[in-house]
Amino acid sequence: MEEGLRYREEISSLAKSEVFGGIDARLRSLALLQRSRRVRGVVDLGIRGIEVEPIPPSLDEVQRAVLVSNYPSVLQTLRALMKVGCRLPGEEFRLKGIGRSEVITKANSLLKALGIDKLIFPALKDEAGTYRLHRKVFKEILAHLDAPGHVLWLSITGRTAGNGLLEGDLRTGAALFCLKKGVPLVPMGLVTTEHNGKLKVVKVRFGEPIEPPQAGEIGDFDNSDLLIAFTKLALCEVARLLPPGQRGDFENVDEKLDETKRRLRTYQLDDCRCNTRVRGGTGTAR
């Protein structure tokens, strides 16, 4: 009798798995953000409490770009990214990001219906706790950046501690993709406020694009020193978009920016041909 009960429980569990799997598949197939501009408008209005600066020319309909920002939390960053993605001009949803695979696997029904699995390139956590990209995913990201107007988002620090600007926890993937594909890096600052002990994004700001060097100027694209220096330059530009007190390890951003530029000059990159002025001309959050 006990065996019969266990058998029925296994059948029931399998049936539930198939039912929920079918529901998930149908939800994911909707991919509403990619299908309809009207849906994107509704989602934009539905994500409240975040002010977004006007989309800059560096992110216009035909421009490819790698977008980087600070990383206050997974949920808050995702909300900000979806709102920005909904506002990018063009007929299609042009923004995709690299994130933890859990963002996809643990998504709620709404995110599944919006097509979160088509908007996130999953990064897998290895035994050492480092997030890495599967070779197939890496190729898919490169293909994404080949198309006119496509934008890729990455965090340039790995942990969400503080406001997400941690000098000792750099992620050089954004710099690598910029250099490999010859697309500019666009800094984005997620200004936060504290609410019930947690950080909440209240404003999104954009900096001037940082143009990557030409292939012939650097030789080896995988030069780790160059990637680290290029990433620190991006971190400095993101920090300049945030108000004092929200810059993490980059509170003394002007000093770090000068130091990073000196380091980059050793590669004869002419400061990476970077326009270091932030829109509005102040370099601080307004």
How does pLDDT run across 101-133, given as a tens digit for each residue?
A: 888 889 989 899 999 999 999 988 777 667 788
The rounded distance, in Å, linking the Cα atoms of 263 and 284 is 24
Distance of CA 86 to CAs 37, 77, 151, 169, Å? 8, 14, 12, 30
Lowest mean pLDDT of 36-40, 229-233, 276-280, name the range.
276-280
How does pLDDT run across 165-182, given as a tens digit for each residue?
A: 888 888 888 998 998 899
| Residue 14: per-residue pLDDT | 36
The rounded distance, in Å, linking the Cα atoms of 120 and 183 is 20
State whether the Cα torsion 65-69-74-75 is positive or negative: negative
**Closest among 32, 28, 152, 141 to 88, alpha carbons compared:** 152
Position with higher pLDDT, 146 vs 260: 146
Q: How much helix, strand and coil, in percent to the nearest 5, is found in the chain?
A: 50, 15, 35
| Residue 263: per-residue pLDDT | 82
pTM over 0.75: yes
Contact 43, 86 (CB under 8 A): yes
Of the pLDDT bands very low, low, confident and very high (cuts 50, 70, 90), residue 240 is very high
- Indicate whether 52 pLDDT > 90: yes
- Indicate whether 8 pLDDT > 50: no
Contact 81, 207 (CB under 8 A): no
Of the pLDDT bands very low, low, confident and very high (cuts 50, 70, 90), residue 226 is confident
The CB density around residue 158, as the number of other CB atoms within 10 Å, is 17
Q: What percent of the chain has pLDDT above 90?
A: 44
Contact 208, 276 (CB under 8 A): yes
- The domain ranges of the chain are 31-273
Position with higher pLDDT, 151 vs 180: 151
Strand order of the sheet with strand 65-69? 51-52, 198-206, 185-195, 65-69, 151-155, 95-100, 120-125, 131-132
The domain defined by 31-273 carries CATH number 3.40.1130: yes
- Indicate whether 206 pLDDT > 80: yes
For the residues of 15-74, what is the DSSP string, one character each? HHHHHHHHHHHHHHHH-HHHH-HHHHHHHHHHS-S-EEPPPPGGGSTT--EEEEE--S-H
Quickly list H helices, 88-147.
102-105, 109-114, 116-119, 135-146
